[in-house]
Structure 1
């Protein structure tokens, strides 16, 4: 597997980011955790959310890891908030924590997501509802709360996690494909409407990335070879490579970019 993934660090630094405050939803583990850790290592204060108390432990672990870095920089701090992204009031609780702890909000990453599987003719209503509640409605609520603050405080940046599945159909993922397509179109709609307030909204569309959500590709016979055959770069992506796109979109280097989607998929959307 390591032959197919490049986990080497992303060295990009943006001098406008240290001291800012950002939220990452769905960050107790996986890609969200990495986003939080990488942002904090660059001087950003981060509020992370997840459904369980594990998010509190994750925040403490990241802070400890940063304090032990040999080449310490001016790291930010991370705090955790237990929150359900399908409940708007939980996003409001998250915003309140950011303001109380760090004095404001500059960026928000709607990262929380679910990855259900079923053939289209077999999709149960409960799965379809869950896919939209978490992936799409959760993104809407997070964006509404974030933008509600940002529009009165000079603007900000929102990054939504779409997927290559929003651009290219994957068999057996009808609920996911549809919900992520909704997330992408929602991002475009938000960008158009929030531009009046200097709030930028963009999306990132990962392809095959080395996370728990894609472990199935290693477990099914022939799935890895098939997957790599549909990726022009012929390898699986690393979470840090997704972070590089997110980091850019949050920074002032992307200050004239809104309503865009960066595909981090090795080119697979074209195959």
Structure 2
């Protein structure tokens, strides 16, 4: 077991599976007490049981402001003051812009952007009172670039990037660090509904410089770094975990491309 988060209390939203579960596991392994916050009862309870006394599951709707107040109060009663928030909960809808309904758009923004805003508002007062804290907002490479078929998702993730900047400006001088993580393709249920093997998924990533899909544990490692005191002077920035996806697109068959 490591000690990079020893003595810290963390809330991880969307913590029951995928990147959230990987983050919850890593944080506990590094000494944190972790509140796994998710709407997925069975998965959340199973993960908390796996991780033992330093993890508990709370069923939590990130779009409900009153639920945030209750969650923070109950986590403080169970574990102590919240030192770290990882705003990870998110959903995605694949639809063209003209086929995306108003309700589609609002639903994605409510979870992916409003949920993170409410999380920051809920934990920040306690962090400010203690003079320290770290907030990690999970955005996406689609918060760094455009993407067809993802109008609601990309809009929400660009919004998270802006939210992070504003929160960093307003909270940094009060002792609270705020940063965003921007994953590229990651092997989770959101991108791999059919349980395709990692090796098979890698074949579809020939456009990415590292030539493979990412693993949820690799995104969790970035969140761990930003949550830890190792990142004590890192604030208001974007950490891109995308295998080079945002670096550029290969022109296959020309010098410098794989196989050329």
Give the TM-score, by structure 1 length. Answer: 0.85
1:88-110 CA-partner distances (Å, limit 9, x unpaired) = 11111221122101121110000
Alignment correspondent of 1:246: 223
Alignment correspondent of 2:131: 154
Q: How far apart are the structure 2 equivalents of 1:212 and 1:52?
A: 13
- The alignment status of 1:109 with 2:86, answered yes or no, reads yes
- The alignment status of 1:230 with 2:202, answered yes or no, reads no
What is the CA-CA distance between 1:52 and the residue it aligns to?
3.8
Q: Matched residue pairs, number?
A: 244
Alignment correspondent of 1:72: none
Name the SS for the 2:130 alignment partner: coil
CA contact (8 A) 1:218 1:224 kept: no
What is the CA-CA distance between 1:188 and the residue it aligns to?
0.8
- The alignment status of 1:128 with 2:105, answered yes or no, reads yes
- The alignment status of 1:32 with 2:20, answered yes or no, reads yes
What is the CA-CA distance between 1:267 and the residue it aligns to?
0.8
What is the CA-CA distance between 1:217 and the residue it aligns to?
9.5
Q: How far apart are the structure 2 equivalents of 1:38 and 1:52?
A: 20
Q: How far apart are the structure 2 equivalents of 1:58 and 1:16?
A: 21
Q: How far apart are the structure 1 equivalents of 2:193 and 2:184?
A: 14
Match of 1:138 among 115, 127, 137: 115
Q: How far apart are the structure 2 equivalents of 1:183 and 1:259?
A: 12
Structure 2 gaps of 5+ residues are: 249-260
Task: Assess, with a 3 A threshold, how the Cα gap between structure 1 residues 20 and 224 changes in structure 2: closer, same or farther.
Answer: closer
Q: How far apart are the structure 1 equivalents of 2:17 and 2:65?
A: 22
Q: Where do residues 4-15 of structure 1 align in structure 2 (5 Å cutoff)?
A: 13=2, 15=3
CA contact (8 A) 1:217 1:224 kept: no
Q: How far apart are the structure 2 equivalents of 1:217 and 1:265?
A: 22
Structure 1 gaps of 5+ residues are: 1-10, 64-75
